[in-house]
């Protein structure tokens, strides 16, 4: 049974759809390039960045589903769906954090380094302004809709931008220093952002203000 959605809200939902479709397209590119270059360079930092992009890709897909649910069944039903989606996303991010910690520990133990990756640097640099633009637009629409899921997705975009900063710093350090331990230590810096992102998704916190100030 369909539930009518007010016209203004429908327009905002359609704007949210456009933002999520852009996110889906970018995250596909980011994930493929980051994981591919990470595997080629044996870079745990780049690979983790790419896996995080896959999780955000899944999150954006779920959010598209949540918006479709609201158009068909109303806001109340959609809010129940988004709470479940947030928990799933949080669990995946915690799993990613555990993977990075284990991988970093192994690389430090075995003294395994990584090579510099130009494609990885390029995708990371481009990700910074892209994520900033998407996060600001999503926050505006989220506030208009009162959607915690869309606000959480905006926070994920902000976190992705900060992750890109970490990756850029790690790759530049790898190029300049060339030490074997740079990649492993930098990947542990990624863990901090991933755990924070996962905790907020799991608890359903509305933390956009503190990220954006």
CATH number, domain of 32, equals 1.20.1510
Other beta carbons within 10 Å of 148: 17
Residue-wise pLDDT for 115-153, tens only, equals 889 999 999 999 999 999 999 999 999 888 877 778 878
Residue carrying structure tokens 């492993």: 184
Give the pLDDT score at 36.
95
Q: 203 in a domain, yes or no?
A: yes
Give the H or E element holding residue 153: helix 148-176
Taking alpha carbons only, the member of 62, 70, 80 closest to residue 5 is 70
Give the pLDDT score at 204.
65
Average pLDDT for the chain:
82
Please give the average per-residue pLDDT across 161-177, as a whole number: 87
Q: 2 in a domain, yes or no?
A: no
Q: 204 in a domain, yes or no?
A: yes
Print the domain residue range for 22.
Answer: 7-212
More confidently predicted of 89 and 76: 89
Say whether pLDDT at 102 is over 50.
yes
Say whether pLDDT at 207 is over 90.
no
How would residue 32 be classed by pLDDT, with cut points 50, 70 and 90? very high
Say whether pLDDT at 210 is over 80.
no
Q: What pTM, to 2 d.p., does this model score?
A: 0.79
Q: 64 in a domain, yes or no?
A: yes
Q: 45: Cβ–Cβ under 8 A, 6 or more apart, which residues?
A: 38, 114, 166, 167, 170, 171, 183, 186, 187, 190
Would you state the torsion angle of the CA atoms of residues 129, 134, 140, 145, taken in this order, to the nearest 10 degrees?
Answer: -170
More confidently predicted of 152 and 47: 47
Which residue spans within the chain are E strands per DSSP? none
Q: 28 in a domain, yes or no?
A: yes
Give the pLDDT score at 127.
95
How would residue 2 be classed by pLDDT, with cut points 50, 70 and 90? very low
Other beta carbons within 10 Å of 142: 23
**What is the DSSP code (8-state) at residue 33?**
H
120, 37 Cβ separation under 8 angstroms: yes
Q: 144 in a domain, yes or no?
A: yes
Q: 43 in a domain, yes or no?
A: yes
Say whether pLDDT at 185 is over 50.
yes
Q: How many domains does the chain have?
A: 1
Give the pLDDT score at 112.
78
Residue carrying structure tokens 């896959």: 54
Name, of 22-31, 40-49, 191-200, the range with top average pLDDT: 22-31
Q: 1 in a domain, yes or no?
A: no
């Amino acid at each position: 049974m369909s539930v009518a959605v007010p016209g203004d809200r429908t327009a905002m939902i359609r704007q949210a759809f456009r933002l999520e479709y852009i996110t889906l397209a970018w995250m596909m590119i980011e994930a493929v390039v980051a994981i591919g270059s990470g595997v080629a360079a044996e870079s745990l930092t780049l690979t983790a960045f790419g896996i995080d992009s896959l999780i955000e890709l899944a999150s954006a897909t779920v959010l598209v589903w949540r918006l479709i649910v609201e158009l068909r069944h109303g806001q109340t039903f959609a809010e129940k769906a988004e709470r479940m989606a947030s928990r799933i996303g949080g669990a995946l991010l915690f799993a990613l954090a555990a993977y990075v910690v284990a991988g970093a520990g192994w690389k430090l133990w075995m003294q395994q380094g990584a090579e510099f990756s130009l494609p990885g640097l390029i995708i990371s640099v481009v990700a910074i302004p892209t994520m900033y633009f998407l996060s600001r637009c999503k926050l505006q629409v989220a506030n208009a809709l009162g959607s915690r899921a869309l606000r959480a997705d905006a926070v994920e975009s902000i976190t992705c931008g900060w992750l890109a900063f970490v990756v850029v710093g790690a790759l530049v350090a790898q190029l300049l220093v060339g030490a074997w331990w740079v990649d492993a230590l930098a990947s542990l810096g990624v863990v901090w952002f991933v755990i924070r992102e996962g905790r907020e998704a799991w608890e359903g916190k509305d933390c956009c203000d503190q990220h954006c100030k």
